[in-house]
Structure 1
Amino acid sequence: MVSFRSAPTQLGQDSKIQIDRGVWVALTILGIWAVSLFTLLSIDITQLSIPFRIAGLLLQTFLYTGLFITAHDAMHGAVSPSNRKLNDLIGSIALRAYALFSLKSMIKTHWEHHAHPASDLDPDFHNGKNKSLLGWYSYFMVRYWSWTRIISLIAIFHIVHRLFHVPEANLTWFWVVPSILSSVQLFFFGTFLPHREPAGGYQNENRATSTRWSPFWSFISCYHFGYHLEHHERPDLAWWQLPELHQRKLQEEG
């Protein structure tokens, strides 16, 4: 199995262009998330209709998912393959902004997932009993969350509310709920769908499948995380490189 921290990039021959684009894509996601969050926390939410509140909530959910996808790419060294310090710095910022996670700790558990996908040694897999969507998600979240992180996030919520006078309604609609929904989005498209056991059993060593959605819907659903078999086969590729590999595989199969 290919090492996810050191595999060479084959899609796109100009490495400098690829490296620059990886950093640019990551910083763009971080920047849009920050500007969007600041804007939504600053507006008078009482003047927004429910449809506009929901639109802002969904936008933030998508951007929060983008934060984790950016950190996930950094775990594989795909944000900046030639500059490990820059790669890890961007990944750490994205992961801390997402939910105060440590990049170093996440790299360790994510490596275990790639080394032992959909098995007892996979930290992302269910325990053999909680195979349903809700049961597996609950088991998944318990393994990754800690009381320290939860208390820290609650403290940040109240500090921002009291020190910067941000209404609790804004924080709830555009920070708390989107971060929770993004975890559901990531779990459903990046763990449950691709790694649940098919009726005929697993068909490859990565124990993963991929959606056959168009690149547009694949991006909208979860930044191409649904092209999951391709990701396990080429973990060195950034999320925005997966559609090219997916289309190539479809052409070879057809």
Structure 2
Amino acid sequence: MAIARRNDYRGTAIAAIILVCWSVLLVYLLTSYAVDFSSPLTYIFVLLQTHLYTGLFITAHDAMHGVAAPGKPRLNRAIGTVTAFLFAYNWYPRLLPRHHQHHRHVATDDDPDYHHGAFWPWYFSFLKQYITWWQLLLMALTFNVLKLIFPLENVVLFWMLPAILATFQLFYFGTYLPHRGEHPADNPHKSGTQAKNHFWAFISCYFFGYHYEHHDKPYLPWWQLYKTKV
């Protein structure tokens, strides 16, 4: 197993870029963008903000594997805590053990991410594992505060909708597609993988469609996963 270099700041820099891009774009879309449903730009912004929301969670996920700030556990945990919290008030200390349980017991009854069933039952089972009532309350409170300050359609389109769409993106490409169905006995990670296409792998879910590769080398950050694809 590779050992992360203690003075490798690339993961921290990439986490900061995602966090800044998400924040700056959200502020612009809430304060300055006039929604025009006839303009393709409105829908592009929705998709871009969705992608950045997904990037927040992927960054928190990297922190769970200690590679957001390798060799610096306090900074790594801080990055994970902040990015998870910004993604619909997820609580990093609650996510961390569940994610490692997924890696230890992938596609079994002890895997919190796994469900025997079709897409929608699996999706709702997945949400129940990770969404708590206090998160829903905080989201509702934040929504009601934001709509007092910013135009309602901006809040819905650029704050609320991208968070919802990002859960689909993460679930579909990072859980459902790679773990559905039966896997051969010689597949130790019980995980599938996307065909090699780095552009599609990035825009679909930050290379996490290369999911067998992630389970095989969980110490690699998302931005290095493509190097393992053959």
> Shorter-chain-normalised TM-score: which range?
over 0.9
Deviation at 1:105, TM superposition (A): 0.8
For the residues of structure 2 that align with 1:135 and 1:68, how far apart are their CA atoms?
22
For the residues of structure 1 that align with 2:40 and 2:125, how far apart are their CA atoms?
33
2:3 match: 9
In the alignment, is residue 217 of structure 1 matched against residue 217 of structure 2?
Answer: no
The structure number with the bigger radius of gyration is: 1
C-alpha offsets along residues 74-107 of structure 1, whole Å, 9 cap, x if unaligned? 0000111110111111111100111111111101
For the residues of structure 1 that align with 2:37 and 2:29, how far apart are their CA atoms?
11
Given that 1:9 and 1:237 are in contact with CA atoms closer than 8 Å, whether structure 2 keeps it comes out as no
2:86 aligned to which of 55, 78, 97? 97
Given that 2:95 and 2:130 are in contact with CA atoms closer than 8 Å, whether structure 1 keeps it comes out as no
Using the aligned pairs only, state the percent identity.
40
Deviation at 1:8, TM superposition (A): 3.3
Question: Quick one: which amino acid aligns to residue 140 of structure 1?
Answer: F
In the alignment, is residue 174 of structure 1 matched against residue 158 of structure 2?
Answer: yes
In the alignment, is residue 58 of structure 1 matched against residue 47 of structure 2?
Answer: yes
For the residues of structure 2 that align with 1:181 and 1:137, how far apart are their CA atoms?
12
For the residues of structure 1 that align with 2:2 and 2:170, how far apart are their CA atoms?
26
Given that 1:79 and 1:87 are in contact with CA atoms closer than 8 Å, whether structure 2 keeps it comes out as yes
1:149 match: 135
Relative to structure 1, the CA distance from residue 79 to residue 201 in structure 2 (aligned partners, 3 Å threshold; closer, same or farther) is same
1:206 match: 189
Given that 2:6 and 2:72 are in contact with CA atoms closer than 8 Å, whether structure 1 keeps it comes out as no
For the residues of structure 2 that align with 1:113 and 1:54, how far apart are their CA atoms?
34
For the residues of structure 1 that align with 2:57 and 2:173, how far apart are their CA atoms?
13
For the residues of structure 1 that align with 2:23 and 2:95, how far apart are their CA atoms?
22
In the alignment, is residue 197 of structure 1 matched against residue 181 of structure 2?
Answer: yes
Unaligned runs of 5+ in 2: none
Given that 2:66 and 2:219 are in contact with CA atoms closer than 8 Å, whether structure 1 keeps it comes out as yes
1:188 aligned to which of 172, 181, 187? 172
1:4 match: none
For the residues of structure 2 that align with 1:148 and 1:90, how far apart are their CA atoms?
22
Unaligned runs of 5+ in 1: 1-6
TM-score for both structures, normalised by structure 1: 0.86
2:67 aligned to which of 78, 87, 97? 78
Deviation at 1:9, TM superposition (A): 3.2
Given that 1:231 and 1:242 are in contact with CA atoms closer than 8 Å, whether structure 2 keeps it comes out as yes
Deviation at 1:143, TM superposition (A): 2.1
C-alpha offsets along residues 32-86 of structure 1, whole Å, 9 cap, x if unaligned? 0000000001124345634221111001000000000000000000111110111
For the residues of structure 2 that align with 1:196 and 1:46, how far apart are their CA atoms?
38
Deviation at 1:111, TM superposition (A): 0.8
